[in-house]
Amino acid sequence: MTLTLPTAPDRPVSRRVDSPHLRALESEAIHILREVAGQFDKPVILFSAGKDSVLVLHLARKAFHPAAVPFSLLHVDTGHNFPEVLAFRDRVVAAGGLRLTVARVQDWIDDGRLTERPDGTRNPLQTVPLVDTIAGERFDAVIGGARRDEERARAKERIFSLRDAFGGWDPRKQRPELWGLYNGRHAPGEHVRVFPLSNWTELDVWNYIEAEGIDLPEIYYAHQRDVFARNGMWLAPGEWGGPGRGESIQRRWVRYRTVGDMSCTGAVESHATDVRAVIEEIIATRITERGATRADDKLSEAAMEDRKREGYF
Amino acid sequence: MGTAVNGFINTASGAGAADGGTIGSPETGSADVDVQELAAELSHSRGLLRFATAGSVDDGKSTLVGRLLHDSKSVLSDQLDAVQRTSEAKGLETPDLSLLVDGLRAEREQGITIDVAYRYFATPSRTFILADTPGHVQYTRNTVTGASTADLVVILTDARTGVVAQTRRHAAVAALLGVPHLLLAVNKIDLVDYEQGVFDTIAAEFSAYARGLGIHEITAIPISALHGDNVVTRSERIGWYRGPSVLEHLETVRLQDESTGQSLRFPVQYVIRPRTDELPDYRGYAGRVSAGTVRPGDQVVVLPSGLRSTVTGIDTADGPRSAAVSGESVTLLLSDDVDLSRGDLIAAGGDIPEPVTEFTATITQLADRPLRAGARILLRYGATSTRALVTGLDHLLDIDSLTYRTAPQALALNDIAQLTIRTADPLPVEPYRPGGAVGSLLIIDPADGTTLAAGMVGDRLAALHPARAADSDAPAESDEEDWLS
């Protein structure tokens, strides 16, 4: 199979999206990304190679065509990432001539700045390496693929979200945003998180991926995998916590709706092997994206709100 | 649609046997045909309606929004499970749908909503972005924010209390912003025994008020958000009402985009210069068309310099375009090597704005921090940021009587005022247009970047009601009795 990478600079770019509402979302996201380039000195895209970050990079490429994307990439690697996703990430970076900074959670554990959690989950451990790297590299704008439809706390997130020197988010201090006027002013040490996909829904993302022919890591599409059941999710086995006693490994047709830390990202049963089938499945499904696949959001009703306050995305 | 996706699919061994296109999820396996039809509908041409909701604290707004999301099948089962659990824990008999939309723990604990929250849902005919604004202390700030880009505002009122001061304030704020459509949802109609007379009185009073504000499309609908009457489906319990449900109205309200027919306004956000071997001299001006239409060959003026040039091309990553209309992000190529940078405005037409250093604006104070005459501010207009001075606080707007009063020494949170701004550099400002793509601004504290206020260039009250504004120099008496009706 020939690999066609979304960032190859000489590739004739995709055909035009024909849905008026996807076109409006695309224009809005491009406007936001150009504001970042115009207002900040050292912006970075948080790039996990998950579909939302792949989409952000794709839009950035369109925003600055035919020039290079004026942002570098940052990935917080938990050490439990899907190997397929890391390989995809590295191919994108190499083909696009992009600059990637990787912050490895393992490095923070090794030198004692972080301690492994008893449950082995590393998703919550990403915050410290993220905030440390933002401060160390002096990134002043950190672009992420989060969407307001993902979760209740995110429904109140701004497109330009001010963070203090510790990466913290105070909902009461966020600036009102009107008329597409984005205020990126910040004090030294503070930074702004920018969410160009704020107004997209999961379905919009998939419809756009289809329309633009954007490549994704293969684990987004149905494949057979050894998994075990826990808390109503299918988890991949690994040294970090599974399967436990009474949990048995089965080989099943699954796909991932989000790609995060393997220890807490669950697969859903699926036979959707292409993007159209995925879209039909999303419409049919009755479980929201994060609820179906992220164990860390089930910790408490306010789990996301708490993690955002601490500097998580 | 229907483009093949490159690479990475069907990589699992034995995938050839997969029945691609069917739904793997066990609970939905039987609905394949419906799903495919719905998928096709939801993927294709649909318009986008941005709307905001506003109401007083106990008008049942969260319940209405929860009901809209729930009854339009936009709430998925894990969200509903959480609502069910919480409702049971509170000892409620039926699920409290307002729990679907209360976002933050602080809000849930206090039973309030503290900020604008955005909701997304779609029906086969339209996609909706809902700005859900709370109705308490910071109502003006939040309503202005939520309604700033809205095509329609839903104002809730309680059938038992009718049109109250807050109802009129929300309508006035919507009118100041130029929102074209208002929907008055007369909620809790069940608590007045579904009585037509009650609804008719409220609807007539509100319509008279809103028409006086210059809002021409006003719809009133009797609803019970709690029971779902007339929210998504028409209620049999309100047989005397023959109009649409709230959702039907949202799906069918006619949107008119006048901005495409206006003169071109194109704020330059960023200059694209690849400086590669293949493109050593490429110079493109990236931005989003804020009004009008642009085509290659158009004669344009660059502001504030006043230099003239010609559009030689409209570039996008998808290839060159023959035209771009308002709302579209593109890159313009010009014939001359004019000196252009971020913040400049490319304009065309017979009404080219004159760059000025002093102008008036109608602003809403958004920060809990006083704004005084003499304040040094950072002004954001289009893609421009410039130093500026508030030279005078001219009037305070009384949102209840819609008259000007003498301005106080300092503006406080939620104040709406008329003020004079002087800028360090000439700016091609022009009067605010609904939607804010032209004539909107931010007032920013240069010390820490706080957004102090949002403003609209010009005298917005005069725009609403010229006769009234003309004689409002004298502090108005409290004429709560409507000049409108």
User: Which residues have C-beta within 8 Å of that of residue A166, sequence separation ≥ 6?
Assistant: A131, A311
**Residue B337 pLDDT class (50, 70, 90 cuts):** confident
Beta-strand ranges (E) seen in chain A are: 43-46, 72-77, 100-104, 141-143, 160-163, 191-194, 223-230, 233-235, 250-256, 267-269
**Residues from chain B contacting residue A186 (CB–CB below 8 Å):** 449
Q: Is residue A209 within 8 angstroms of chain B, CB to CB?
A: yes
**Residues from chain B contacting residue A49 (CB–CB below 8 Å):** none
C-beta separation of B51 from B57 below 8 A: no
| Domain contains B477 | no
**Residues A153 and A219 reside in one and the same domain:** no
Q: Is residue A273 within 8 angstroms of chain B, CB to CB?
A: yes
Question: pLDDT (tens digit, 9 = 90+) per residue, B97-147?
Answer: 666 665 555 555 554 455 788 888 888 788 889 988 876 655 788 888 889
CB pairs under 8 A between A and B: 298
Distance CA A60, CA A68 (A): 9
Distance CA B232, CA B252 (A): 13
**Residues A230 and A192 reside in one and the same domain:** no
**Residues A189 and A251 reside in one and the same domain:** no
**Residues B123 and B245 reside in one and the same domain:** yes
Give me the interface pTM, i.e. the ipTM. 0.85
Among the partner residues B13, B329, B378, nearest to A31 by beta-carbon distance:
B329
Question: pLDDT (tens digit, 9 = 90+) per residue, B447-482?
Answer: 989 999 999 999 888 877 644 544 444 444 333 333
**Residues from chain B contacting residue A1 (CB–CB below 8 Å):** 7-8
**Residues B99 and B179 reside in one and the same domain:** yes
**Residues from chain A contacting residue B10 (CB–CB below 8 Å):** 221, 273-274
Angstroms from B364 CA to nearest CA on chain A: 11
Tens digit of each residue's pLDDT, chain A (313 residues):
333 333 333 333 344 566 788 888 999 999 999 999 999 999 999 999 999 999 999 999 999 999 999 999 999 998 888 889 999 999 999 998 899 999 999 999 999 888 888 877 787 888 899 999 999 999 999 999 999 887 767 777 899 999 988 878 776 677 889 999 999 999 888 999 999 999 998 888 999 999 999 999 999 999 999 988 887 778 888 766 678 788 888 999 999 888 877 777 888 888 999 999 888 887 776 555 555 555 554 444 445 555 555 555 5
**Residues from chain A contacting residue B454 (CB–CB below 8 Å):** 176, 178-179, 181
Among A32, A185, A231, most B C-beta atoms within 10 A, so best to mutate, is A185
**Residues A161 and A245 reside in one and the same domain:** no
CATH of residue B199: 3.40.50.300
| Domain contains B319 | yes
Angstroms from B174 CA to nearest CA on chain A: 14
Q: Is residue A83 within 8 angstroms of chain B, CB to CB?
A: no
**Residues B240 and B98 reside in one and the same domain:** yes
Expressed as residue numbers, the domain containing B434 is 356-470
**Residues A179 and A243 reside in one and the same domain:** no
What is the rounded average pLDDT of the residues B294-322?
95
| Domain contains B392 | yes
Number of domains in chain A: 2
Angstroms from A60 CA to nearest CA on chain B: 10
Is pLDDT above 90 for B328? yes
Percent of chain B past pLDDT 70, that is, above it, reads 78
Which residues in chain B (163-192) have CB-CB distances under 8 A to chain A?
none
**Residues A30 and A166 reside in one and the same domain:** yes
| Domain contains B271 | yes
Angle, helices B196-212/B165-177, rounded to nearest 10 degrees: 40
Is the model more confident about A310 or about B381? B381
Is the model more confident about B474 or about B236? B236
**Residues from chain A contacting residue B120 (CB–CB below 8 Å):** 148-149, 199, 201
| Domain contains A123 | yes
**Residues B86 and B104 reside in one and the same domain:** yes
Question: pLDDT (tens digit, 9 = 90+) per residue, B163-202?
Answer: 988 888 889 889 999 998 999 999 999 999 999 999 999 9
Specify the pLDDT at position B368: 85
**Residues A140 and A247 reside in one and the same domain:** no
| Residues B18, A222: C-beta atoms closer than 8 Å | yes
**Residues from chain B contacting residue A185 (CB–CB below 8 Å):** 378, 444, 446, 448-449
| Domain contains B152 | yes
Average pLDDT, whole number, for chain B? 81
**Residues B63 and B87 reside in one and the same domain:** yes
Specify the pLDDT at position A12: 36
Is the model more confident about B50 or about A165? B50
| Residues B78, A287: C-beta atoms closer than 8 Å | yes
Q: Is residue B131 classed as helix, strand or coil in its secondary structure?
A: strand
**Residues B216 and B334 reside in one and the same domain:** no
| Residues A274, B9: C-beta atoms closer than 8 Å | yes
| Residues A155, B117: C-beta atoms closer than 8 Å | yes
Q: Is residue B437 within 8 angstroms of chain A, CB to CB?
A: yes
Number of domains in chain B: 3
| Domain contains B478 | no
**Residues A32 and A157 reside in one and the same domain:** yes
**Residues from chain A contacting residue B88 (CB–CB below 8 Å):** none
User: Which residues have C-beta within 8 Å of that of residue A105, sequence separation ≥ 6?
Assistant: A76, A77, A78, A79, A114, A122, A125, A126, A129
**Residues A50 and A167 reside in one and the same domain:** yes
Specify the pLDDT at position A21: 84
**Residue B376 pLDDT class (50, 70, 90 cuts):** very high
Chain B nearest-CA residue for A153:
B103
Among the partner residues B6, B11, B103, nearest to A213 by beta-carbon distance:
B6
Q: Is residue B105 within 8 angstroms of chain A, CB to CB?
A: yes
Q: Is residue A113 within 8 angstroms of chain B, CB to CB?
A: no
C-beta separation of B13 from A224 below 8 A: yes
Expressed as residue numbers, the domain containing A280 is 214-297
| Domain contains A13 | no
| Residues A280, B39: C-beta atoms closer than 8 Å | yes
**Residues A118 and A73 reside in one and the same domain:** yes
**Residues B230 and B310 reside in one and the same domain:** no
> What is the torsional sign of CA B88, B90, B92, B98?
negative
| Domain contains B125 | yes
**Residues B455 and B332 reside in one and the same domain:** no
Distance CA A5, CA A60 (A): 14
| Domain contains A1 | no
**Residues A25 and A173 reside in one and the same domain:** yes
**Residues from chain A contacting residue B451 (CB–CB below 8 Å):** 175-176, 183
**Residues from chain A contacting residue B13 (CB–CB below 8 Å):** 224
**Residues B93 and B128 reside in one and the same domain:** yes
| Domain contains A272 | yes
| Domain contains B399 | yes
Specify the pLDDT at position A150: 79
**Residues A224 and A187 reside in one and the same domain:** no
| Residues B318, A62: C-beta atoms closer than 8 Å | yes
C-beta separation of B385 from B448 below 8 A: no
Among B83, B318, B326, B362, most A C-beta atoms within 10 A, so best to mutate, is B318
**Residues B327 and B182 reside in one and the same domain:** no
State which of B313, B330, B347 marks the end of a domain: B347
- CA Rg value for chain A: 19
**Residues B300 and B244 reside in one and the same domain:** no
Query: Model pTM?
Result: 0.84
Residue A271 is given by DSSP the state -
What is the rounded average pLDDT of the residues B150-161?
94
CATH of residue B405: 2.40.30.10
Q: Is residue A272 within 8 angstroms of chain B, CB to CB?
A: yes
State which of B252, B270, B304 marks the end of a domain: B252
What is the rounded average pLDDT of the residues B328-343?
92
Distance CA A224, CA B232 (A): 41
Question: pLDDT (tens digit, 9 = 90+) per residue, A249-286?
Answer: 899 999 988 887 777 788 888 899 999 988 888 777 65
State which of B198, B217, B252 marks the end of a domain: B252
**Residues B333 and B377 reside in one and the same domain:** no
**Residues paired with B363 in a beta bridge:** B417, B455
